[in-house]
């Protein structure tokens, strides 16, 4: 692992140690965040799977009933019966924060307070299959919105998990090893400088002692 290009000083060593402590703390927090995101993601995926199966089954039944109604009444009659819908719906979009991920929330309400009928046609010239198909679609609307909310949540959580995973790997395999290698290098350089300084002091001391002996010998002491 390549070390950082720094000056081998004690101040730099202190800064590197502080950065290493911060990097390790950040690595632990990001790992905890990644694990919690994965847990939330798996919960949402399981809910998404069950809800999608239920919604697809209701839509399949509604589609079969529509096909039966068209077979009995004809395409033009069915289209004319559904041309002017009686009910209006208001969609509200909100957000909630899940581990720093903004998850959408959808809620639908009847603009007419539920007073309008599901069937925008008379019953004289239509079939019960068409009534049942509209009933299925009306009952599945809330589940469709929930399914859209869950699938978007899965996408956002997956993106956040991937970003967090990259940050964890960068800290674990790049930054922390670089700090550790650089700290080791700076410590070795400082120890080497200390040994060099000690050796120079000892040499100077020996020179001074030898000089003192020479002066004493010259003075006959």
Give the domain ranges of the chain.
10-175
Quick one: pLDDT band at residue 111, thresholds 50, 70, 90? low
pLDDT in tens, 112-143: 655 445 565 555 556 677 777 777 777 788 88
**What CA–CA distance (Å, rounded) separates 203 from 210?**
10
Residue 87 DSSP symbol? -
Question: Rounded to two decimals, what is the model's pTM?
Answer: 0.72
Residue 74, by phi and psi: left (phi above 0), alpha (psi -120 to 50) or beta? left
**What CA–CA distance (Å, rounded) separates 17 from 193?**
20
pLDDT in tens, 173-213: 999 999 999 999 999 888 888 887 787 888 878 777 777 77
Buried b (16+ CB within 10 A) or exposed e, 60-88: eebeebbebbbeebeeebbeebbeeeeee
**Per CATH, is 10-175 categorized as 3.10.20.90?**
no
Higher-pLDDT residue of 117, 33: 33
For residue 95, what are the β-bridge partners? 104
- Which tokens is 62 given? 């509604």
Burial class (CB in 10 A: 0-12, 13-18, 19+), 186: buried
């Amino acid at each position: 692992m390549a070390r950082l290009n720094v000056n081998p000083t004690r101040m730099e060593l202190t800064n590197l140690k502080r950065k290493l402590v911060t990097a390790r703390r950040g690595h632990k927090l990001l790992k905890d965040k990644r694990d919690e995101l994965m847990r939330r993601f798996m919960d949402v995926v399981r809910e998404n799977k069950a809800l999608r199966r239920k919604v697809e089954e209701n839509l399949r039944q509604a589609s079969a009933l529509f096909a039966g109604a068209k077979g009995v009444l004809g395409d033009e009659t069915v289209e004319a019966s559904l041309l002017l819908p009686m009910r209006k719906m208001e969609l509200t979009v909100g957000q909630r924060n899940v581990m720093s991920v903004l998850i959408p929330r959808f809620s639908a309400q009847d603009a007419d307070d539920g007073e309008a009928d599901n069937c925008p046609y008379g019953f004289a010239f239509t079939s019960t299959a068409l009534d049942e198909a509209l009933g299925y679609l009306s009952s599945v609307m809330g589940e469709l919105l929930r399914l859209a909310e869950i699938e978007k949540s899965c996408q956002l959580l997956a993106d956040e998990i991937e970003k967090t995973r990259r940050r964890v790997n960068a800290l674990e395999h790049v930054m922390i090893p670089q700090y550790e290698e650089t700290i080791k290098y700076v410590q070795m350089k400082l120890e080497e400088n200390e040994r060099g300084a000690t050796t120079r002091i000892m040499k100077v001391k020996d020179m001074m002692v030898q000089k003192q002996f020479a002066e004493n010998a010259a003075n006959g002491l």
